[in-house]
Chains A and B, each alone.
Chain A
Amino acid sequence: MIQITSPPQMAKIMEQCQAALARQKVRFLVCAGTGCVAGGSLDVYDEFKRLIEEKGISVDVELLYEGQKSDAGIGIGGCHGFCQMGPLVRVEPKETFYTKVKVADVEEIVTATIDKDTVVERLLYQNPDGSRSVTEHEVPFYSTQQRIVLGKCGVINPEDIREYFAAEGYQALAHVLQDLTREQVIDIVTRSGLRGRGGAGFPAGRKWQSCLQATGSPKYIVCNGDEGDPGAFMDRSVLEGDPLAVIEGMTIAGYSVGASYGYIYVRAEYPLAVKRLHKAIAQARQSQLLGDNIMGTGFNFDLKIFQGAGAFVCGESTALTLSIEGKRGMPRVAPRPRTTEIGLWDKPTVLNNVKSFAYVPDIIRKGADWFKAIGTETSSGTAVFALTGNITNSGLIEVPMGTTFREIIFNLGGGIPDGEKFKAVQTGGPSGGCLPESLLDLPIDFDSLDEAGAIMGSGGMVIMDERTCMVDVARYFLDFTVIESCGQCVPCRLGTKQLLEVLEDICAGKGRKEDLDLLYELSHAVHAASICGLGQTAANPVLTTLRYFKEEYEAHIFDKCCPAKVCKALISFVISEDRCKGCGICAKHCPVSAITGEKKQVHVIDQSLCIQCGVCMEKCPKKFRAVDCVSPRIKAAVPETMETT
């Protein structure tokens, strides 16, 4: 293992590692993010290894530093973000980008690449116009992205520190340790305009400055990887795809505030991220980049991973530190000293999000002005979003702050699939809001979203089409908040519960006309009186849906109709007499035997037995489409009419 004993040595190491990579004539990088692994990418990787060995091609499974030039290298990469098209395979140096690769496709890729120097056309991404994109940059999903934090994800092997070195890794730390004082580092971070990427957008430089000035020792650096927002996986991908950038960023933070110990708090649901972090930390220690006497400069900094145990509220800074201390993660009551003064174990603590730390090495290397030039006046840099829901291209994207929703949804995202119409975009998870079509041209940054009633949050962006019921979405988020409320303050514990019950009633067709005012009133009370961010923002999903989609609430309450046909109590499934051919498939699949009918005769659903599971509609052959979903509900047939036949 490479030992770094002085900062100037780092430049030479980088060249060596780059040269080692250049020895490989071609290189197959198989994506091994959680999404692609679920699609079978590890089997694809094994097949590459097996086939190449079988063909007698000299191969590097990891970087070699001596000997003959090898014909091929194979590695695993982190998440490319285009999980929907996975498993993904990238072939270097031509950067050929293959999608949906199966084990059976591997032989063709190997033969085309090594023997014929061509590409396998059918595995390239197919553009909407039918043409094919050869490299990642040509795919519309990536075309206007600017990948900084995600820049190395999928391009380097996250389990080999030498590939991080080759990608200019640890050059920033070397520069910091060799040339910069603590104040100079903080000055760069402050001037860059970096705002915390956990959601609130507090300026990182000011946080670090306040911790540097705080008295008390030791000081701690804590990385918040408790990515609890449902519908968000940015931090997971960074931790899985480029763990060392986070570690280097934390080490730089440690140097600048005078901390020699740090924690990375990772969600329990992210086992792969934990595994990669363990490997990265071990390799960094071996290379003298963590632990005592880093790069021979006398600076000490070490890290520990803390695995969360499943509590959303632990994303709040005071709850997170209490959780590390082995206590219930209940936020401290305000007014209270800042975490930078009294944080983990009551000591000064810098607590930042995964992405905030991951930006730091690039900001140090390229300078504050470089970062400041990207994005908007008040929100510099890029924003990372997990683009999901009813969208053609779902996955992870990184765009400059100030990009509009329209650009993201209709250009990068490829619009709404299945010929459906856009209805709403949800950002910021349970603390955020649902924004309508009229706000699609809003440039996205911390402040604009706040004004619109949503929040930036950590980066979840869920697209909803006309098939999504906005009352049900509000109910869904409140259901989440009720479960996750820590319960120590009444407005949050009981207020969210009351909100949920009102919403449940509306969805169940029991809404009353005074419920709308009641929702407003309760929402404002919960917002004003809760002690932490979870409670204060819990009503945002209700308030934004009321603000932008009030007519849907009214349809539920007054017409007992769910326009999106989602709320089970307000819908019925019916079989069309004109279109039903009597094939009997629906009756066969109906779990409650509510469908009857003779072969080749029109079938009928008994509404008194039907549980609105929708299986009949799903199973009815596409060429018939004989099952309709209607709202308001059809009354169950009365027995007399059945007897008359």
Chain B
Amino acid sequence: MEDRLSEILSPYKGKQDALIPILQKVQEEIGYLPAEAMQEIARTTGLPQSRVYAVATFYAQFYFTRRGRHQSKICTGTACHVKGAARIMDTFERELGIACGETSEDYEHSLETVACVGSCALAPVVVVDEEVYGQVDSSKMSKIFDDFKETEKED
């Protein structure tokens, strides 16, 4: 982890203005922002750790715990809300056995909402591992859950 961090952070020495791009880069590489990464970012940029945490906790994009292998995001934009996003969330919570915002114990799944992915014409929308599913109904959801089971079997 240490080597990897210093490799990721090496171009940013002393670059305090680049704090948000740095946090994004580290999260992209590691998947979340573990405590040791936060310390290392503070050291590299010369910013106090309190400031690194202040910024990172302000933005919804950053995670401080490990995410699941599959990340399901239920869009809760207005169009999706009007078209029944709440019921979709209920179904995901029930099927995956985790509440919104949680990660399953085996790190298979994370479940969260996203404010709007801008695909409102396809509402209701679900984003699973970067793939956008539009006009989601119960049969599309069944397919998503079946796909999850498939990947589990393959392992």
Interface set of A (CB-CB < 8 Å, partner B): 34-35, 37-39, 82-84, 227-233, 236, 267-271, 306-312, 323, 325-330, 386, 388-390, 394-396, 426, 429, 460, 462, 464, 468, 473, 476-477, 480, 484, 486, 591, 611, 613-615, 618-619
B140: shortest Cβ distance to chain A, in Å? 12
**Which of A38, A82, A389 interacts with B78 by CB under 8 Å?**
A389
Q: A83-B121, A230-B77, A328-B55 are in contact. Are A389 and B82 (CB under 8 A)?
A: yes
Measured CA separation A595–B121 after assembly (Å): 35
- Counting chain B CB atoms within 10 Å of each CB, which of A309, A476, A477 scores highest? A309
- Counting chain B CB atoms within 10 Å of each CB, which of A227, A326, A330, A480 scores highest? A326
Say yes or no: B78 contacts A394, CB within 8 Å.
Answer: no
**Which of B17, B79, B82, B134 interacts with A326 by CB under 8 Å?**
B17
B31: shortest Cβ distance to chain A, in Å? 16
Number of A-B contacts (CB under 8 A): 146
Q: A230-B78, A326-B55 are in contact. Are A309 and B120 (CB under 8 A)?
A: no
Say yes or no: A311 contacts B59, CB within 8 Å.
Answer: yes
Measured CA separation A378–B87 after assembly (Å): 43
Does residue B90 face the partner (Cβ distance < 8 Å to A)?
Answer: yes
Q: A326-B17, A328-B58, A591-B94 are in contact. Are A312 and B118 (CB under 8 A)?
A: no
In the complex, chain A residues whose CB is within 8 Å of the CB of B8? none
Instruction: Offer 9 A-B interface pairs, CB within 8 angstroms, sorted by A.
Output: A34-B132, A37-B132, A39-B134, A84-B121, A232-B118, A233-B116, A389-B83, A394-B121, A476-B81
Interface size bracket, B side? 35 or more
In the complex, chain B residues whose CB is within 8 Å of the CB of A591? 91, 94
Say yes or no: A228 contacts B115, CB within 8 Å.
Answer: yes
Measured CA separation A308–B19 after assembly (Å): 12
In the complex, chain B residues whose CB is within 8 Å of the CB of A326? 16-20, 55
Measured CA separation A37–B127 after assembly (Å): 13
Say yes or no: A325 contacts B79, CB within 8 Å.
Answer: no
Q: A233-B120, A462-B78 are in contact. Are A307 and B21 (CB under 8 A)?
A: yes
Say yes or no: B115 contacts A312, CB within 8 Å.
Answer: yes
Say yes or no: A270 contacts B16, CB within 8 Å.
Answer: no
B11: shortest Cβ distance to chain A, in Å? 15
Q: A269-B117, A312-B115, A325-B17 are in contact. Are A38 and B134 (CB under 8 A)?
A: yes
In the complex, chain A residues whose CB is within 8 Å of the CB of B117? 34, 269
Q: A388-B79, A389-B82 are in contact. Are A232 and B116 (CB under 8 A)?
A: yes
Q: A309-B24, A328-B58, A329-B58 are in contact. Are A236 and B122 (CB under 8 A)?
A: no
Say yes or no: B116 contacts A230, CB within 8 Å.
Answer: yes
Say yes or no: B76 contacts A230, CB within 8 Å.
Answer: yes
Say yes or no: B60 contacts A388, CB within 8 Å.
Answer: no
A309-B60, A388-B123 are known; give 16 further A-B pairs, CB within 8 A. A35-B134, A38-B125, A38-B131, A38-B133, A84-B122, A269-B118, A307-B24, A310-B115, A326-B55, A328-B55, A389-B78, A394-B121, A426-B78, A429-B78, A484-B115, A613-B90
**Which of A231, A307, A486 interacts with B79 by CB under 8 Å?**
A231
- Counting chain A CB atoms within 10 Å of each CB, which of B54, B58, B131 scores highest? B58
Q: A309-B59, A615-B138 are in contact. Are A460 and B19 (CB under 8 A)?
A: no
The residue of chain B having its C-beta at the shortest distance from the C-beta of A477 within the complex is: B78
Say yes or no: B118 contacts A34, CB within 8 Å.
Answer: yes
In the complex, chain A residues whose CB is within 8 Å of the CB of B94? 591
In the complex, chain A residues whose CB is within 8 Å of the CB of B76? 230
